[in-house]
Structure 1
Amino acid sequence: MQQTDAAVAQVPDLIMPERTSGYTKGHDTREMILRTALAILIDEGWHAMSMRRVAAACAIKLGNLTYHYPTREDLVRALLDAVTAAYEHEFDAFLRQEGLTPAQRLERYCTLVLDDIPALKTTRLFPELWALSNHDAFVHDRMHELYARARAPLNDIIADMRPDLARGICETLALFISFAMEGSTVFAGHGKPFTGQMGMIKQIALRGFADLVRDYRPAAC
């Protein structure tokens, strides 16, 4: 398979919602808080990301932090929203070009995800939160919301490629492709044993996903 000519996208760490009211300083403070919390999560893990730790790292008082994010849950919700927005922005930009076939959009979507796998943020942040989701219902729900939003463009691409399939089947194919890509993080993510083989893994994955979507036939009942 020959890749489309889109340049490899670099997913930003997070994108803040546009300021609709209030002072610019407050918006900047919220962004500083979220970037600091994200850095702590990546470098030190969930156990280190207490409200006091984030406030200290931002060089602000705890009361100033809780003014913007009253609870740790509020902080995590805002952080994951900003991280998800960054991916949604890149998916939109990567797929927006007119004239792309559904198959080309599938390749672009999967290329973006697979190229992001070896990033330090991706390797440390998402497995950390998925592990935590096994024991924390709040994080569990937020992670599934995040991934549902990230899969939405893939659901639509597969539906465009295979209009003969029921929407539920298209969504299951998208879910499988998401499983396959995200699972590579523990093997070929940043600093993992097979990071150097990610280029070949990506080639195999892109061809395999295209063949799967094009040729899939539901099993007869």
Structure 2
Amino acid sequence: MIELDIPERDGGYSKGNETRELILRTALEILIEEGYRAMSMRRVAIACGMKFGNLTYHYRSREDLVRELLEAVIRSYEVEFDQIVHMSSASAQERLQRICTFILEDIRSKKTTRIFPELWALSNHDAFVLARVQELYGRARAPLIEIVGDIRPDLPIADREAIALFISASMEGMTPFAGYEKPFEPLMPKLSDIAIHSFVSLVETFGRDSN
């Protein structure tokens, strides 16, 4: 399971950072095991073994807590993506394969299978969650756009963005079918091979047969 990357606050102190980490990890565990609606501020405070007032000292509202929790989640992914994108020893095609392999393997984790579909459903009715989800996925697509551009520098930026969106959506769409404890989870290695082969071919050939 990918770790949270929790940013330190300006002027923060060690004990305060440790408390925030406890709060965020506890909130994440509740989100995974019980869902977003169960992740109330009081529920998080009780699970952390602290007073409600102590929790609100660090996070004034559930929105503040969710914002920093999702920031910690996406930062942890960005660390992994950055390492792959800047692998000087690997070709652009190999980097695309690596980043897709990482995402598809992560989909099989309990955390990812539980959290993201929960957020997708909530985003249909909650503008705050929708904005956070859009921001999260926009940042997650950025390394894909960069790699697509490395493979096909001739493509306009709009085409690179569309291809990255298609690849991202295709991978995320496997979650309810082949994610953690889902019916086709045992087939994920083969599905990954099919997906990665298709994605690399798509990037290499897109637009070249249109004439």
3-state SS of 1:175 partner: helix
Q: Which residue of 2 aligns with 1:38?
A: 28
Alpha-carbon distance in structure 1 between the residues aligned to 2:155 and 2:12: 48
TM-score (norm 1): 0.92
State the alpha-carbon separation in 2 of the partners of residues 19 and 202 from structure 1.
39
C-alpha contact 1:95 1:108 (8 A) present in aligned 2: no
1:92 to 71, 82, 88: 82
Secondary structure (helix, strand or coil) at the match of 1:99 reads coil
- Tell me what 1:3 maps to: none
Corresponding position of 1:11:
2
Q: What is the count of residue pairs matched by the alignment? A: 211
**Aligned match of 2:183:** 193
Unaligned runs of 5+ in 2: none
Q: Compute the RMSD of aligned alpha carbons.
A: 1.5
Task: State the distance in 1 between where 2:107 and 2:64 align.
Answer: 27
Could you say which residue in structure 2 is the equivalent of 1:204? Answer: 194
| Equivalent position of 2:61 in the other structure | 71
1:84-118 Cα distance to aligned partner (Å, 9 max, x none)? 00100111123332122111111111011011011
1:108 aligns with one of 86, 91, 98: 98
Pair 1:133 & 2:123 matched = yes
Contact 1:155 1:174 in 2 (8 A): yes
Contact 2:107 2:179 (8 Å CA) reproduced: yes
1:123 aligns with 2:136: no
Structure 2 length-normalised TM: 0.96
Question: Unmatched 5+ residue regions in structure 1?
Answer: 1-9
User: Residues of 2 paired with 1:163 and 1:23: CA distance?
Assistant: 46
Counterpart Cα distance in 2 of 1:88 and 1:16: 12
Structure 2 Cα separation of the partners of residues 97 and 171 of structure 1:
21
The amino acid of 1:153's aligned partner reads P
Which whole-Å CA distance do the structure 2 matches of 1:43 and 1:56 have between them? 16
Shift of 1:37: 0.3
> Partner amino acid for 2:138?
A
Correspondence for 1:144 among 134, 141, 144 = 134
